[in-house]
Structure 1
């Protein structure tokens, strides 16, 4: 059985409306749109976009509807998402400590908080002198800024394109707590992304939009053929008129 993770990868299709200023550089317009999604919670994906890749156009021509100055393009993109799951453990770096709660940052993406009533009081006690939560036995390590901890997610709050994770040290006491004591420059934690894909078909391999002028060429060819036909009819009429005069 595959390990559960808080990261996933999704393949999807998007229809984007781009400004006329990107008519000659549609890929630039698509990139600007996608960059605005980074580090934001997207309800449709139920996760925070931490990256994207494999951006490809799914059509040859752009579409303009009615009198709108914007043109629509269909693109395929693979999103890497951070999707914290309730009742699972997660690792975070402590960035704030008080008697009321422990604040953490998860993979540099999402804020998390462990309220004081979710801290094991028999294992940790608030020390006003050192302004930290200290272990009550053993090595008596301190929960302070830069400390790395594992805890259980008990709730995920979603509001204003952001996520806030509520954690607890009460569940699974043998598996949660201090992993590494605080340091001035703690190591960056790697993201283990689970490649979970949607049922959406994989993107096509078109890498750019080609503005198709075939329709204009066909209209021009039809006009030239019509002019040639009219000219021939006119020449034939002139010949008939000359024969009558004779």
Structure 2
């Protein structure tokens, strides 16, 4: 019997049609294998190839968050039909079948400790990639700022922008622009970058974000990540009543108010300029110290290499 060559039609089953069978859970892990069943409507093009059609529809769920499974489907296997025949209702040519399968699911939970690679650093947050696939955001209030501080990278018009010290190897797993060029979080005492030279960082999962069938995580580096102290508080608005005097003699002269306001603005501007100058000086001093340390390390390495070469020539 000739087969139809009509274009294949893909369909994604709505999550409420997926039924997860109960299974005894083992130790807590981010990867789970669950047995599930789903109701599929197979198009007529798969009338003689039900298994192929079911496989194609299950493929459409891969790398998507499925609420019924509580995670992102990474793979499926052991496809089996739970009924011996499909059902066709009224004038609808689609065959309705019940299908069972085993799914491998990425299902992180609140409180888990995971590890990711630093992909972006900014004063407000740090972005990570877990398994080079899933996004993690660590907001500023979940970074211990008493130990870590953000170091701004050189501006684009800075002669040092985009340059890299001679002999310095690129960070593993990162391509293109170096994180230090955009700025990075460093230890306030040792100046060691957050995540070390390899950019590997362990964090605690404190939140899950689901959007467009994609799952991303919110992480924390705090030793007590669930403490109320690490919840951002909205700015408080002053509700104190303003006292108004009816005595015109007590009101300050308009010219005096302008003079005082101008003086305050000048003081604030001077303080801001001084603070910016101090921050720039501290940044340059930290950069100078790191360059000196790297130069010293290179000199020691060259001296060690020269000594080894001289010893070999002597023998």
1:145 Cα shift?
Answer: 9.6
SS state of the match for residue 54, structure 2?
helix
- Are 1:148 and 2:172 counterparts? no
Tell me what 2:247 maps to.
Answer: none
Alignment of 1:1-246 (within 5 A): 3-129=27-153, 130=180, 131-138=183-190, 140-143=192-195, 147-171=199-223
Shift of 1:142: 4.1
Partner deviation per Cα, 1:48-100 (whole Å, 9 max, x = no partner): 11111111222222221111110012211001111111122111122221111
Q: Distance in 1 between matches of 2:73 and 2:79?
A: 14
Give the deviation of 1:135 after TM superposition.
Answer: 1.9
Instruction: Tell me how far 1:153 sits from its aligned partner.
Output: 0.8
Change in Cα spacing, 1:74 to 1:145, as seen in structure 2 (3 Å) is: farther
Cα distance change, pair 36–100 in 1 and its aligned pair in 2 (3 A): same
TM-score normalised to structure 1 length: 0.64
Q: Which runs of 5+ in 2 are unaligned?
A: 1-24, 154-179, 226-315
Greater helix share, 1 or 2? Answer: 2
Q: TM-score, normalised by structure 2?
A: 0.51
Q: Which runs of 4+ in 1 moved over 3 A?
A: 141-146
Do the aligned partners of 1:97 and 1:145 also contact (CA within 8 Å) in 2? no
Provide the C-alpha distance between the structure 1 equivalents of 2:41 and 2:55, rounded to a whole number of angstroms: 12
1:137 to partner: Cα distance = 3.4
Higher relative contact order (CA 8 A, sep 6+): 1
Partner SS, residue 87 of structure 2: coil
- 2:294 is matched with which residue? none
Q: Within 1, Cα distance between the matches of 2:197 and 2:43?
A: 45
Q: Is the 8 A contact 2:194 2:201 kept in 1?
A: no
Q: CA deviation at 1:102?
A: 0.7
Are the structure 2 counterparts of residues 125 and 163 from structure 1 closer, same or farther at C-alpha, using a change threshold of 3 Å? same
Compared with structure 1, are the counterparts of its residues 145 and 84 closer, same or farther at alpha carbon in structure 2 (3 Å cutoff)?
A: farther
Q: Per residue, is there more strand in 1 or in 2? A: 1
Superposition RMSD on alpha carbons, in Å? 2.3
Instruction: Give the gaps of 5 or more residues in structure 1.
Output: 174-246
Conserved? CA contact 1:100–1:115, under 8 Å: yes
Q: Distance in 2 between matches of 1:22 and 1:2?
A: 38
Number of aligned pairs? Answer: 173
Contact kept in structure 1, 2:35 and 2:103, CA below 8 Å: yes
The secondary structure found in structure 2 opposite 1:9 is: strand
